C-alpha cells in the first residue's frame, strides 16, 4: 500500500521540511523550461536522486504509466500548440517542428514531476510528512487530520474488502459482466462502506480528546529531526537553481 522504502540513505536522513521544500523547488525548476534539451538534464537529475535514495524499484512499478503519460502529453501538445510554421494541419490540429519540440518538453516535464513525487514518497514516512508540514507552520490539527487520513486509507481498504465479502456471501456476483456492469454492481456497496467509515467518528473524537487533543499551549514532539548544514545547503542549492532557471528564461 505505502510506497515508503525503509533504507538509510542520504535522502532518507534529510529533515522532513527539507524534503518538502526541496520537492517544491525541484518541481518549480522543471516549469521554467520549454525545450527537450533543457528538460532532459532535470529528468536525469531526478533519476539520479532515485538511484541515490534506492527507490528505483518503485519507479519500475510506475514505468508503464510514465511511458503512457509521455506519449499522451507529447502527442496532444504537439497537435494543439500553435507555434512555428505548420507542415501539416487539419481543423484545430496542426504540426510544426516547434510544436513537436514543445510537446516532447511537456512530456518530459510531466514525467520528471511524477518521478520526483515518487522519490519523495519512497524516502518519507507519513509521520515525517506530517512533521515537515508542522515545521513549515501548518497548524497541528490540520497536519494531524492529514496524517490520520493517510493511516486510515489501508484500514478502509480492509473494510471495503469485508463489505464486499459480506455481500458476496449473500449472493452478490461481482465476477460476471463487462467492466461497466461490474462497476455498477459496486455502487450499492457505497452505502455500507460509507456507514462503516463514519460510525466511529464519535469514538475516535472521544479517544483523541481523552489524550489531550485540542489542548492549548506548546506541544512537545516525540519525533525529533535535527536540521543540519546539509539541509540548509540543499535548500540553498535548489533555490539558486530556481533563480538561475527562471532568470534565464
Partner 1 sequence: MREVITMWKYTRMVVLVALTAALYAAVLIPFKLLPLIPGITELRPANVLPVICSLMFGPAAAWGSAFGNLIGDLLGGTSGLGSYFGMLGNFWYGYFPYRAWRTLSSSDPIPWSAGRLARYFIVSLLASLACAVQISWGLDMLGFVPFHILGPLIGLNNFVTASLLGPLLLPILYPRIKRWGLLYTDVMETEDLWGGRLPYLAHLFLWGAVLGGLILGIVISLGVTESQTFTLNLPGGAHWSLSLSDIPRWGTSVGTSLMPLIGLLVVGALLL
Is there binding between residue 183 and partner 1 (CB under 8 A)? yes
Rounded to a whole number of angstroms, the minimum distance from the CB of residue 222 to partner 1 is: 19
Q: Return the range that interacts with partner 1 (CB under 8 A); candidates 7-15, 106-114, 167-175, 233-241.
A: 106-114
Is there binding between residue 191 and partner 1 (CB under 8 A)? yes
Helix axes 190-198, 140-169, angle to 10 degrees: 140
Q: Return the range that interacts with partner 1 (CB under 8 A); candidates 170-178, 207-215, 217-225, 234-242.
A: 207-215
Q: Return the range that interacts with partner 1 (CB under 8 A); candidates 12-20, 104-112, 219-227, 236-244.
A: 104-112
Considering just the CA atoms, what is the radius of gyration of the chain in Å? 23
Among residue numbers 144 through 173, which ones bind partner 1 (CB under 8 A)? 144-146, 148-153, 155-157, 160
Q: Give the residue with the Cβ less far from partner 1, 7 or 72.
A: 72
Are 189 and 163 in contact by the 8 Å Cβ rule? The answer is: yes
DSSP 35-79: SHHHHHHHHHHHHHHHHHTT-HHHHHHTHHHHHHHHHHHHHHHHH
> DSSP code of 93?
E
Among residue numbers 127 through 146, which ones bind partner 1 (CB under 8 A)? 139, 141-142, 144-146
The Cα–Cα gap between 85 and 69 comes to: 26
Among residue numbers 224 through 243, which ones bind partner 1 (CB under 8 A)? none
Q: Give the residue with the Cβ less far from partner 1, 61 or 230.
A: 61
Among residue numbers 25 through 84, which ones bind partner 1 (CB under 8 A)? 27-28, 30-31, 34, 58, 61-62, 65, 68-69, 72-73, 76-77, 80-82
Query: How many helices and strands (H and E) does the chain possess?
Result: 12, 2
Rounded to a whole number of angstroms, the minimum distance from the CB of residue 53 to partner 1 is: 15
The Cα–Cα gap between 42 and 6 comes to: 26
The Cα–Cα gap between 63 and 132 comes to: 28
Are 83 and 100 in contact by the 8 Å Cβ rule? The answer is: no
Is there binding between residue 116 and partner 1 (CB under 8 A)? yes
Among 90, 137, 176, 202, binds partner 1 (CB under 8 A): 202
Is there binding between residue 114 and partner 1 (CB under 8 A)? yes
Q: Give the residue with the Cβ less far from partner 1, 18 or 39.
A: 39
| Nearest in space to 154 (alpha carbons), one of 39, 2, 3 | 2
User: Binding residues for partner 1, how many (CB under 8 A)?
Assistant: 71
Amino acid at each position: 500500500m505505502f510506497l515508503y522504502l525503509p533504507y538509510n540513505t542520504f535522502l532518507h536522513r534529510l529533515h522532513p521540511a527539507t524534503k518538502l521544500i526541496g520537492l517544491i523547488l525541484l518541481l518549480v525548476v522543471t516549469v521554467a523550461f520549454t525545450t527537450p534539451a533543457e528538460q532532459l538534464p532535470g529528468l536525469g537529475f531526478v533519476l539520479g536522486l532515485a538511484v541515490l535514495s534506492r527507490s528505483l524499484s518503485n519507479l519500475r512499478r510506475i514505468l508503464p504509466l510514465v511511458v503512457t503519460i509521455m506519449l499522451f502529453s507529447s502527442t496532444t501538445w504537439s497537435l494543439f500548440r500553435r507555434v512555428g510554421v505548420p507542415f501539416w494541419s487539419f481543423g484545430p490540429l496542426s504540426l510544426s517542428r516547434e510544436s513537436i519540440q514543445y510537446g516532447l518538453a511537456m512530456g518530459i516535464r510531466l514525467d520528471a514531476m511524477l518521478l520526483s513525487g515518487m522519490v519523495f514518497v519512497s524516502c518519507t514516512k507519513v509521520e515525517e510528512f506530517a512533521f515537515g508540514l508542522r515545521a513549515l507552520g501548518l497548524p497541528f490539527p490540520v497536519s494531524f487530520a492529514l496524517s490520520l487520513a493517510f493511516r486510515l486509507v489501508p484500514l478502509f481498504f480492509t473494510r471495503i474488502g469485508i463489505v464486499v465479502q459480506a455481500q458476496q456471501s449473500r449472493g452478490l456476483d461481482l465476477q460476471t459482466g463487462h467492466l461497466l456492469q461490474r462497476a455498477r454492481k459496486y455502487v450499492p456497496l457505497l452505502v455500507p462502506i460509507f456507514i462503516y467509515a463514519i460510525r466511529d467518528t464519535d469514538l475516535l473524537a472521544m479517544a483523541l480528546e481523552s489524550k489531550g487533543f485540542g489542548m492549548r499551549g506548546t506541544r512537545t514532539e516525540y519525533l525529533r529531526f535535527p536540521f543540519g548544514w546539509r539541509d540548509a545547503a540543499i535548500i540553498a542549492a535548489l533555490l539558486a537553481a530556481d533563480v538561475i532557471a527562471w532568470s534565464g528564461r
